[in-house]
């Protein structure tokens, strides 16, 4: 299954764009509430791209709900949501495997440093 080209959240259609330039700034993905665009680095391996997608979905929910979630909570919720969706029969989404531990470790370090979301995944 491929990452969708758009998703709907409430009354909003969020365009999902894959492009290679984000990692130059150590960023895997972004959500822009002004343009209603989610961007994910197209050079990411499949599982990391899906992890980033779900992270950005939570970022968008955080914005629309005005939840003021901390970046660490957004990261954890994104990982958990990814696991739930990947576990559904027929989802076609591969769950995070043991070879993907590096990305999770990197995300945890970023969350501990309380880096702004635009610096890492969101």
Question: Which segments of the chain does DSSP mark as H helices, in order?
Answer: 46-65, 71-87, 101-112
Domain ranges of the chain: 6-119
First-to-last C-alpha distance (Å) of the chain: 22
pTM of the model: 0.75
Q: Where does 6-119 sit in CATH, by number?
A: 3.30.2010
Dmax over CA atoms of the chain, in Å, equals: 38
Q: How many Cβ atoms from other residues are within 10 Å of residue 15's Cβ?
A: 14
pLDDT tens digits, one per residue of 11-68: 999 999 999 865 566 789 999 999 999 999 988 888 889 999 999 999 999 999 999 9
Residue 114: HSE in the Cβ half-sphere, 13 Å Cα cutoff: 2
């Amino acid at each position: 299954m491929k990452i969708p080209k758009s998703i709907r959240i409430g009354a909003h259609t969020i365009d999902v764009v894959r492009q290679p330039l984000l990692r130059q700034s150590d960023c895997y993905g972004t959500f822009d509430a002004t343009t209603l665009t989610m961007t994910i680095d197209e050079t990411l391996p499949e599982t990391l791209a899906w992890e980033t997608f779900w992270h950005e979905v939570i970022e968008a929910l955080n914005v629309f709900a005005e939840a003021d979630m901390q970046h660490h909570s957004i990261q954890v919720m994104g990982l958990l949501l990814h696991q739930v969706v990947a576990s559904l029969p027929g989802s076609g989404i591969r769950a995070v495997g043991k070879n993907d531990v590096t990305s999770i470790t990197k995300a945890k370090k970023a969350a501990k440093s309380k880096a702004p979301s635009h610096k890492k995944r969101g």
